[in-house]
Structure 1
Amino acid sequence: MARLPRKADLKPTALEQRGKRFAFGAPVTGAVSVGDAVVVSFGDGMLRFFCPDKMPQELKLHEGVILCLAADGDGHVITGGDDGKFLRTSLEGAVEELADFGTRWVDCVAASHGQIACSSGKEAHVWTPGQSKVTVFEHASTVGGLAFDAKGKRLAVSYYGGATIWAREKRWKSSKLVWKGLHGDTCFSPDGKYLVTCMQENALHAWRLRDKGDFEMPGYPAKIRSLAWVGDTPYLVTSGADEAIAWPFGGKDGPLGRKPVCVAYNEGELVTCVHALPDQDAVFVGFRDGAVQLAELDETKPAIVISGSTGSEVIEIIVAGLHIFVGDARGNVLWAPLWEGSSFAQHV
């Protein structure tokens, strides 16, 4: 574990000066917060734990790339790898193998209200508290994304040709949402009224679930790989352009007929990662060159530079308690206190 050197001609921001930089030599593939800790997965199969006032701890978890990571809400994380294993790990490093799919990769994982799920190939597997048997759902093509709604009562599974929502009452019932094309990462809106997917065709697609009305949000120059729900409206903020694109989902029809808010700009660099500043109408924006900005969802206000370029695209930004984690595609990491004193904005 080595400190990351900085170019002599770049002046560190105040946040960088009070933080620590590391170079792990393998790409960051995922990161989640568990209390005040951030748990990070890497391309070398390592899981690393970042806690305030401690050096990062590490655990060799998978025999290959950790492809997906989620917090289970019970102080553990779940991971899937190209070694075919689906694992649950505690912050203390205790590991439980939930499933082994052999040569089939575990592509997606999700968790909510005690339920956990993973996908391998065309199948989604769901573990429900109080049930000894795993529920398996098969779909028409390889699963591209998994997401539970906020109450944990619905599971969305996306794939080529659309998505299926599995709703659990006394038993599971399915509802199909059809749209031609390859659908990847997916998420419910915080109020559960919409389902959104990221498409291979550089666009978002959304369904209004009350009547299955659907609409597209096209025009991105690159694939959308990062989503964040921000503020009370709420806005869905996305990567995939040279600014963070924020679609308003408030009101009766969400973004239909409304323009997005566009914030944060870094000399034409593509946005690769977005993450909400908790309890604020503001978002952290990571770029292809490794820089990070903090922007309010207000086009009249300039963004604040949080950290400078590392030369490698930002993969994950996570806020946990009073600290922020930034990780990139080369394994460069910034771990820093968000602020000193009572005001973040005064110190960045």
Structure 2
Amino acid sequence: MSEMHELLVARGAERRVEGAVSAAAASRDGTVLAVGTVEGEIWLVAVESIRSPEAWRVVAAHHGAVLSLVADTGASGFLSGGEDNRLLRTEADGTVTELFRGRRWVDHVASTPSTLAFSTGKQVELRDAHGATTLKTLEHPSTVSAIAFDAKGKRFAASHYNGVSLWFVQAKVDSVRMLEWKGSHIGMALHPAGDAIVTAMQENELHGWRLSDGHNMRMSGYPRQVASMAFTRNGKWLATSGADAVVMWPFFGGGPMGKPPTELARLPGVFCSRVCAHPRHDMIAAGYDDGTILLADTGSERVLPICMSGRGKVSALAFTPQGGFMIFGTEDGWIGAVDLSSQG
């Protein structure tokens, strides 16, 4: 494919920065995209300046790597956790506010419009939308490896060694529902309808639980550890990395158990490193070890190239909640942003 077929060339821009990109996110109102780096910087890309990389704003946020980056509880800002043991709020104008400083890395951050959560070691702290008031502190049996709220913000999940802990955010008395499976769980995805939770294992496989009855599900056969996964907008498919294609597990018709996965956007011999589901359409953005990024339609299997190889391993992908823009980052320090809107 010639570079003129790349959406990045026709409808976006890119620039190289200091340090590998470690995380990406978009604001709730869809006006700002952001990436964090291992150097502690947060780059802010306003969608109106998406094709003017000289206008992208850099914020010296953390002292050490940005470990987690998510949309703030409010409209346009971001929350980040870092190796400097701090939780920060970064506004769209670059203003940074410290919300927490502890003794351990702030590994993971999650938010809803009314609540934010962050993990340090075995503990997860839930705070109000402003980040000033602690609502509760949740203790886990081992170091937390991933956290997430469900789509309605009512339940909260944390993965750790030997399983997942599931909590009710508004519960007066905190009683945990333990989903147990021996081994090291290193990543997690929640079904949009709350039907299931899936974790990536230290081994090259996934484990899942059907929440209605706790039934266990095992999805294996990967040549590599699964580092990234995402449910499509309606929960019909779970897209994952870990192979030289996007591996898609069906969560309909009784699946995934007893049903083989589908593969999309295969690049023979080049492993998929990152996946991100489009929030409005049945599409998956997939990043690969060589820097290729493809946009694949889960229905027609049509594939559009966002950009081709040569930028280093894709390490971060994010869409705006409305789906009109996306941002990516690579381990070689490339940041790219693309306008996917119909008028782009």
Whether TM exceeds 0.5 here: the answer is yes
- Pair 1:319-2:316 in alignment: no
Amino acid at match of 2:214: K
Q: Name whichever of 12-21 and 278-287 sits farther off.
A: 12-21
Shift of 1:340: 6.3
Once superposed, which parts of structure 1, at least 4 consecutive aligned residues long, lie more than 6 Å away?
none
Counterpart in the other structure of 1:277:
278
Give unpaired runs (5+ residues) of structure 1. 1-8, 343-348
Among all aligned residue pairs of Structure 1 and Structure 2, give the percentage whose two residues are the same amino acid: 33
Amino acid across the alignment from 2:265? A
CA, structure 1 residues 62+259, in 2 after alignment: closer, same or farther (shift >3 Å)?
Answer: same
Asked if 1 retains the 8 angstrom alpha-carbon contact of 2:116 and 2:129, the reply is no
Map residues 178-193 of structure 1 onto 2, 5 A cutoff: 178-193=180-195
Deviation of 1:231 after TM superposition, in Å, equals 4.4
Paired residues of 1:153 and 1:169 also in contact (CA < 8 A): no
Matched, 1:23 2:24: no
Instruction: With a CA cutoff of 8 Å and minimum separation of 6, indicate the structure with the bigger relative contact order.
Output: 2
Of 180-189 and 272-281, more deviation after overlay is shown by 272-281
Distance 2:209 2:191 in 1: 10
- Structure 1 residue 13 corresponds to structure 2 residue 5: yes
Unaligned runs of 5+ in 2: 50-54
Q: Distance in 2 between matches of 1:318 and 1:67?
A: 15
Query: What is the identity, as a one-letter code, of the residue corresponding to 1:198?
Result: A
Q: In the alignment, what sits opposite 1:139?
A: 140
Moved more, 254-263 or 22-31: 254-263
Aligned-partner SS, 1:17: helix
Equivalence map 1:132-211=2 (5 Å): 132-167=133-168, 168-211=170-213
Deviates more, 1:22-31 or 1:163-172: 163-172
How far apart are 1:59 and its partner, in Å?
0.7
Identify which of 221, 224, 230 aligns with 1:222: 224
* Pair 269,24 (structure 1): closer, same or farther in 2 beyond 3 Å: same
The 1-side partners of 2:133 and 2:234 are apart by 38
In structure 2, relative to structure 1, the CA distance for the partners of 1:116 and 1:12 (3 Å cut) is same
For residues 75-90 of structure 1, the aligned pairs below 5 Å read 75=75, 76-90=77-91
Contact 1:208 1:214 in 2 (8 A): yes
After TM superposition, the score normalised by the length of structure 2 is: 0.90
Choose the corresponding residue for 1:37, options 20, 23, 32.
32
Distance 2:127 2:235 in 1: 33
Distance 1:142 1:14 in 2: 41
Deviations 1:311-347 (Å, cap 9, x if unpaired)? 41111222235333221111112223226648xxxxx
Aligned to 2:125: 125
Q: TM-score normalized by structure 1?
A: 0.89
Q: Secondary structure at the match of 1:16?
A: helix
Residue 103 (structure 2) pairs with residue 108 (structure 1) = no
The secondary structure found in structure 1 opposite 2:90 is: strand
**Following the alignment from structure 1 to structure 2, what is the Cα–Cα distance between the partners of residues 147 and 301?**
29
Shift of 1:250: 2.5
The aligned length equals 331
Distance in 2 (CA, whole Å) between partners of 1:48 and 1:189 is: 30
Partner residue in 2 for 1:235: 237
Deviation readout 1:294-321 (Å, 9 max, x if unpaired): 21224x7452222111241111222235
Let me know the Cα RMSD of the aligned residues: 2.1
Output the CA distance in 2 between the equivalents of 1:245 and 1:202. Answer: 13
The equivalent residue for 1:255 is 256
Q: What code does the residue aligned with 2:88 have?
A: L
Aligned residue number for residue 66 of structure 2: 66
Question: 2:52 maps to what in 1?
Answer: none
